Amino acid sequence: MIVDTTSTVHLAVYDTFADWETGYATAWLARTGHPVRTVGPTAGRTVTAIGGLRIQPDLALDDLDPRDSAMLILTGADLWDAGDELAPFAAKAREFLAAGVPVAAICGATAGLAREGLLDGRKHTSAVSYYLAATGYRGGDGYVEADAVTDGDLITAGPTEPVAFAREVLGRLGAFEGGKLDAWYRLFHDSDPAAFEELNA
């Protein structure tokens, strides 16, 4: 069986990653034809999420090529604010954006992108504006008070907005469009029972 690697979405995983932040996005990507593969710091080394979930990544970060991916998703993690251990993931995000492949970052990953200079000149959001300001980045004028923001190939969101984050990811990759995307969001964000029928019509 031949797999179209350009439909594959890559989810970055590392110790202390916030496992609740990307579940809506990855589950519905997989259900709509976008296989999800995990990418860790090194091959064969298990990482542990904040919630204790243990994952053995499918491939190492060094082996990830933007040409083989539809999107890179970066989760939040305590390690984003504890030193430079996750800086290589931000550098990989730079490769993706330079290649025209989308990047989606939530929570602490937005600070990693800020330190890498990837939010300078782009509209973006995060937990709060002063969280990113503390990184010393120069993109403060582009900060938007919103649940999630898409600017070209970059999606950002704060830590309390996994559903809004997923909406932007699903929309960017065409998993749902128009009224279907709106129904999906209303179902999972607003618990609107009518949206279930619209989504499954």
Here the contacts of 173-177 (C-beta below 8 Å, separation 24 or greater) are 173/9, 173/29, 173/34, 173/70, 173/71, 173/102, 175/28, 175/29, 175/32, 175/33, 175/34, 176/28, 176/32
The active-site residue out of 29, 73, 79, 107 is 107
Tell me if residue 164 is catalytic: no
Cβ atoms of residues 108 and 140 within 8 Å: no
What SS3 state is found at 165? helix
| Residue positions annotated with a catalytic role | 107
